[in-house]
Amino acid sequence: MRELYLGPYRLLNMLANGQTTHVWEAIHDASRRRVAIKRLKAQKPKRAELGLLRHEYSVAKTFDHPRVVKALEIGVTRGEMYLVLELFSAPNMKWWIQQALDRVAYRAPEIIDQCAEGMIYLAEKGWIHRDIKPDNFLISKTAK
């Protein structure tokens, strides 16, 4: 199987398949750092989609909170723009609800508090998430 690369990042496996983007687990071969790569689905994305990805990076790179995934860089390779994010290797809330609710249900108050911490941080920075749903909350088995 041919390996897929975006710039210095080797794509390992798809983590999420959204309406306009895919999110991949990737590795920077030189540093061995694992990251998440958000890339647009469209072969020829619209100017607005590129603008939204640029805007997401310009806003997210200013965030620094343990409950918010960090934006690390934005890149362009062969005309394809992508966003490099901190990798949080854990399923999202939707997966836990559908597949293993019994394994996290006892943590519901803690999970809700941590989700609220992240949303409060964003609000204090003047931002509203606008896509709050179980798919967008990552839950580790052990995170406190």
Instruction: List average pLDDT for each run of 10 residues in the chain, which is 144 residues long.
Output: 88 91 95 96 87 94 95 93 94 93 92 95 92 91 64
The pTM for the full model equals: 0.89
> Which of 51, 68, 86 is at the close of a domain?
86
Strand segments (E) across 29-105: 33-40, 71-77, 80-86
Same domain? For 80 and 116 the reply is no
Asked whether residue 122 is domain-assigned, the answer is: yes
Structural domain span for residue 118: 93-136
Q: Tokens 């990805």 belong to which residue?
A: 53
Q: Could you count the other beta carbons within 10 Å of the beta carbon of residue 32?
A: 7
